[in-house]
């Protein structure tokens, strides 16, 4: 099940549509890292609203994705983690430290707008 990746201005939006296998998740990670270069994107949003389980593998893959994209100079935000999914993740001991999250797509875009502007200002000062 391929995840559609939409280009929205300087951002990429990966909107997960159904449950993903481990292979699907790894493919999403690799596709996003590649597309950040292709489109010279400054921000990435991964929308996980439909995922009813985020287990250790999914959490680790998302965290790896965020780090890889950061190394490519872009910022990632994960949006739409459901309340019961968040509860299960915390019980399992998955904290997703260092990963930016936002309530939904709208908040995610707002986060990227702020984060990429701040980055541009810092770069401008230097």
Partner 1 sequence: MDKHRVAIRALDETRIAICADMDIVAARQCGRTLAAELGFSNTDATLIATAISELARNIVIYAKEGEITLSTLQKSESCGIVVVAHDNGPGIPDLEQAMKMGYSTSGSLGFGLPGVSRLMDEFKIDSRPGHGTTVTIKKWKR
Please give the residue ranges that form the binding site for partner 1 (CB under 8 A). Answer: 19-23, 52-57, 59-60, 63, 82-85, 87-89, 91-95, 97
Looking at the Cβ atoms of 22 and 106, the one nearer to partner 1 is 22
Looking at the Cβ atoms of 64 and 113, the one nearer to partner 1 is 64
| In the complex, least distance from residue 116 CB atom to partner 1, rounded to whole angstroms | 26
| In the complex, least distance from residue 88 CB atom to partner 1, rounded to whole angstroms | 4
First-residue to last-residue Cα distance in the chain: 44
Cβ distance 44 to 74 under 8 Å? yes
| In the complex, least distance from residue 31 CB atom to partner 1, rounded to whole angstroms | 17
Element (H, E) at 92: helix 83-92
Task: Compute CA distances 73 → 9, 50, 119, whole Å.
Answer: 16, 28, 10
């Amino acid at each position: 099940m391929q995840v559609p990746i939409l280009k929205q201005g300087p951002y990429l939006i990966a909107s997960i549509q159904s449950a993903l296998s481990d292979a699907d998740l790894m493919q999403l990670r690799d596709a996003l890292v590649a597309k950040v270069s292709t489109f010279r994107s400054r921000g990435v949003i991964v929308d996980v609203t439909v995922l009813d389980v985020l287990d250790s593998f999914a959490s680790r893959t998302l965290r790896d994705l965020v780090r890889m994209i950061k190394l490519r100079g872009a910022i990632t935000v994960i949006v739409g983690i459901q309340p019961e999914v968040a509860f299960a993740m915390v019980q399992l001991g998955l904290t997703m430290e260092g990963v930016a999250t936002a309530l939904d797509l709208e908040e995610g875009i707002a986060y990227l707008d702020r984060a990429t502007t701040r980055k541009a200002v810092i770069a401008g000062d230097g």
